[in-house]
Structure 1
Amino acid sequence: MNATTQQQVFEIIAKQAKTDVANVKPDSTLKDLGIASLEAIELIFDIEEHFNINFPDQQGADFDRDTAQSLVDAVDKALADKAGAGEGAA
C-alpha cells in the first residue's frame, strides 16, 4: 500500500466531507462521512484530476457505498494501469 496515495485520497475525501482528515478511516464509507451521491461524483472527478487518471465509467457507480480504502485501491490500480500503458507507448 502506498501511504502517500492513501493520505492524498483521504485528504480529498475529508475536504469533500468538510471534516478533519483524522475522521477518514480505511473502512469509512462515503455515506458514513456524509457524502451524498452527487458529492461522490464530484469527489471522483477531484480524485481523477488530482492524480491525472480516469476511472472506468461503471467503476464510479457505487463509490458512495465503497470504503475510503477501496478508493485508494482504485487509485493505485489506475496509476499502475497508467504506468503500464505508458511503458507500452514508447
Structure 2
Amino acid sequence: MADTVHDKVVQILAEQAMLEPGDVTMDQSLEDLGIDSLGLVESIFAIEEEFDIQVPFNANEPDKSDFDISSVAAIIGAVQGLVTAQKG
C-alpha cells in the first residue's frame, strides 16, 4: 500500500483546511489549520470513508473519547489504532 495512514490523514486534513499537504505539520491543532467544528465533522466522515472505520461519535469531546483530536499527530495515531483494531 503506497499511501500510508499518515499520508491519507494529512491529505484529508489539508483538503479541509484548503492547504497543501506539505503545509500540514504533526504538532498543529485543528484550530491551527483553521478547521472549525463543521470541518472536523467533514474530516471525520472523510476519514471513516477512506479507512472503512467508525470514529467514536464523541470524538469532538476529548474528555469523553479515546479518539484524540488535539493535534495532527494525535489524529493519525487514533486513526492508526482504529485501523489496526479493525484488522485484528
CA positional deviation for 1:81: 1.0
Q: Residue deviations 1:21-78, cap 9 Å, x none? A: 1111111111000000111111111111111100122234348x61011111111110
Match of 2:5 in 1: 5
Matched, 1:16 2:13: no
Greater fraction of residues in helix: 1
Q: Which has the larger radius of gyration?
A: 1
What is the total number of aligned residue pairs between the two structures? 82
Counterpart of 2:73 in structure 1: which amino acid?
Answer: Q
User: TM-score scaled to structure 1, two decimals?
Assistant: 0.81
The answer for unaligned runs of 5 or more in structure 2 is none
Equivalent-residue separation in structure 1 for 2:57 and 2:72 (angstroms)? 18
Aligned sequence identity (%) = 35
Which of 45, 65, 69 pairs up with 2:73? 69
- Two-structure CA RMSD over aligned residues (Å): 2.0
**Structure with more contact order per residue of length (Cα contacts < 8 Å, sep ≥ 6):** 1
